[in-house]
Structure 1
């Protein structure tokens, strides 16, 4: 790769910024084209598992992010009435996978990734369209509406409704509705003291996690038809669905304003793409392998993609070979988990809860095995190696 080789990253989310940082560190002349007017991220908080933190180590900010992360202590899984089905052991998880799981605001991570890039690299309010994917003899071409740009590499990091993906693979069916919608809030809750937890009901789940800065991150999901909205407001909808669940859920809802609530239907890619590249264009993150949030791996896999792409930018078939099998397997596992935690029938829920309670008595190791092959991933760099900036 010549020092002057140019990369255009379409999309300024976590995956796009991480890819831009990885490529910049390897000597690429990078431009990030983000259609939104700012880098303000969609969503509230993100959970980073040891695999993503190791990827951030490659970018040189892993320890910084660990220090900024929200407290993530022991917690567990509960029923709507408050009974603990299982307890999580943070120390056991860290020992098994070589590091902690940490939680922090998405805006914090976006800010730290953007800070790795020189001024002027990120162009907001810059919608981009792939004109030509290029090949070994021709560069790829991208239009911003006002100008056409050429590059030796284009990165499609434009999310679940990726126009880059559609341009590369027009016959692919694209994402489908996963059958449930989600709500998220990140707010101060005065006097709140509780263990981090997730609660599974019938076709509904709730998670509440204390943040290091004193705020609370809460999320909820419920099986519902696609495209639905509350007849009044989404706080009222959450009160109807979860208002009689165990503490601290009522306190969190009481502290929530309607405008604090984000609601998004969950879509995912059920048919794997034939490749994560075509010509001089590579896809990453949700544009390549959108998955349900049930394993908390969507953003984590995007960061993995980014550092692997930085390593394999001169050999896109090798990038596909490295990433497609892994992300396909994780996405399928996330779908299986969704079938369990979003179960609706009383019989299925009773069996599920009984099995979880029984397994929890054998210790945390059985539950941690579910993340074997995920959280223990290591990037394709030498130990301690970082990209140069």
Structure 2
């Protein structure tokens, strides 16, 4: 397949918008079809590790996002009573993997990406369905309420319950319940000082992290039956589960309003897809390889997908070859980590915590080795968008001409 001149992206989340920007910068005419009435991301915040930031460098956005980094000094793992199980050195991690870990509001990242697309490229309030995946010599067709669209490439970024995936691979079992539920909240918390941390208790975890804008992102996870909800409200449920944990957990819960708390069950794709493409359609992000959030790599891998897809847009089997083995390995690692940090037995959790303390004292760098092969990933090409060029300039004829010369 020749490099696409017309591309349709189904889904206006992080993976879909990154793919749209990357394809636009490679000279394709891109249309993003988003079912929701606005680009409102699901979830409160996202952590971007060096691998995703290097991918964003390719479209000239990496440095803008790095500037939002709020993680300074050390953090680490704690026990519910406050004892440190292990400490992490942000500077050492940045030096080892070539950059910082940046935590930011998902809406901020969505805004940066959308701003780099031409006016009218994103159509919100537009449900889309794949009518024909296309083939060599035949374009793909997508149905919308306004009529059919044809494209040389369709990017399916329609999430974990992807209708496109089900249509392309009807025999695949789809996502399964991961065994735990999550809560997320993003609030101001003035006057409370704390070190960035994640806390592990039996069958439960909690994390609290500062953002550059002064707000605090907190999340929790607990082993629970699928579909379970609090008998009263989710803030009350968090108080029952975490109200007696160390500072700043009680302070976060005291400052949170009922509407600040988001709860979602976690699902993942346990059986890998046979491919991430079919015909002229490519799957990215959760549509291709949904994984538990325990490594913080879901959004990062979607960004990697998008940049890699733009590079291999004329050769979709090469895209599958580049992405399927990597994301399968990371997803399996995330499942294993979930079993460790959400261990329910008190005896097993106590043994785990003792081992963490011992390892932290004996060889602190061992904890960084868990991200080798993940955070040190590099995109398949050098940046093709100037880091000093604005989003407006990148959409200009001059910018596109420069990109064509670097193919």
Q: TM-score range by the shorter chain?
A: over 0.9
- Identify unmatched segments of 5+ residues in structure 1: none
Superposition deviation, residue 2 in structure 1: 7.0
Q: How many residues align?
A: 388
Provide Cα deviations, 1:144-203, integer angstroms capped at 9, x if missing partner. Answer: 133011100000000000001001001100000000000000001121110000000000
Superposition deviation, residue 346 in structure 1: 1.3
Asked if residue 328 in structure 1 is aligned to residue 351 in structure 2, the reply is no
Superposition deviation, residue 363 in structure 1: 3.6
Matched residue, 2:79: 79
Matched residue, 2:370: 370
Q: Distance in 2 between matches of 1:255 and 1:77?
A: 23
Matched residue, 2:164: 164
Matched residue, 2:385: 386
Q: Distance in 2 between matches of 1:194 and 1:25?
A: 41
Matched residue, 1:192: 192
Superposed, 1:244-323 pairs within 5 Å as 244-323=244-323
State the SS of the aligned residue for 2:274: coil
Q: Is the 8 A contact 1:3 1:27 kept in 2?
A: no
Q: Distance in 2 between matches of 1:354 and 1:71?
A: 27
Q: Is the 8 A contact 1:11 1:159 kept in 2?
A: yes
Matched residue, 1:18: 18
State the SS of the aligned residue for 2:221: strand
Superposition deviation, residue 69 in structure 1: 3.1
Q: Report runs of 4+ in structure 1 exceeding 6 Å deviation.
A: 1-4
Q: Distance in 1 between matches of 2:243 and 2:275?
A: 45
Matched residue, 2:392: none
Q: Is the 8 A contact 1:276 1:320 kept in 2?
A: yes
Q: Is the 8 A contact 2:4 2:313 kept in 1?
A: no
Matched residue, 2:55: 55
Matched residue, 1:123: 123
Q: Is the 8 A contact 1:222 1:342 kept in 2?
A: yes
Distance of aligned partners of 1:12 and 1:73 in 2 relative to their CA distance in 1, 3 Å threshold: farther
Matched residue, 2:232: 232
State the SS of the aligned residue for 1:59: coil
Matched residue, 2:205: 205
Superposition deviation, residue 250 in structure 1: 0.3
Q: Distance in 1 between matches of 2:384 and 2:50?
A: 17
Q: Is the 8 A contact 2:75 2:197 kept in 1?
A: yes
Provide Cα deviations, 1:307-339, integer angstroms capped at 9, x if missing partner. Answer: 000000000000000000000000000000000
Q: Is the 8 A contact 1:72 1:102 kept in 2?
A: no
Provide Cα deviations, 1:33-92, integer angstroms capped at 9, x if missing partner. Answer: 000000011111110000000000001010011112333542000000100000010011
Q: Distance in 1 between matches of 2:169 and 2:117?
A: 30
Provide Cα deviations, 1:317-374, integer angstroms capped at 9, x if missing partner. Answer: 0000000000000000000000000000112101111111110012431000000000
Asked if residue 215 in structure 1 is aligned to residue 177 in structure 2, the reply is no
Distance of aligned partners of 1:273 and 1:207 in 2 relative to their CA distance in 1, 3 Å threshold: same
Provide Cα deviations, 1:89-116, integer angstroms capped at 9, x if missing partner. Answer: 0011011101111111111000000011
Q: CA RMSD in A?
A: 1.2
Superposition deviation, residue 3 in structure 1: 8.3
State the SS of the aligned residue for 1:158: coil
Provide Cα deviations, 1:181-231, integer angstroms capped at 9, x if missing partner. Answer: 000000011211100000000000000001111111000000000111111
Asked if residue 141 in structure 1 is aligned to residue 147 in structure 2, the reply is no
Q: Is the 8 A contact 1:72 1:101 kept in 2?
A: no
Matched residue, 2:358: 358
Q: Distance in 2 between matches of 1:70 and 1:247?
A: 20
Distance of aligned partners of 1:113 and 1:329 in 2 relative to their CA distance in 1, 3 Å threshold: same
Q: Distance in 2 between matches of 1:177 and 1:108?
A: 29
Matched residue, 2:114: 114
- Identify unmatched segments of 5+ residues in structure 2: 387-398, 401-407
Q: Distance in 2 between matches of 1:145 and 1:258?
A: 36
Matched residue, 2:391: none
Q: Is the 8 A contact 1:78 1:199 kept in 2?
A: yes
Q: Distance in 2 between matches of 1:334 and 1:227?
A: 22
Structure 1 window deviating more from structure 2 (180-189 vs 344-353): it is: 344-353
Q: Distance in 1 between matches of 2:14 and 2:190?
A: 30
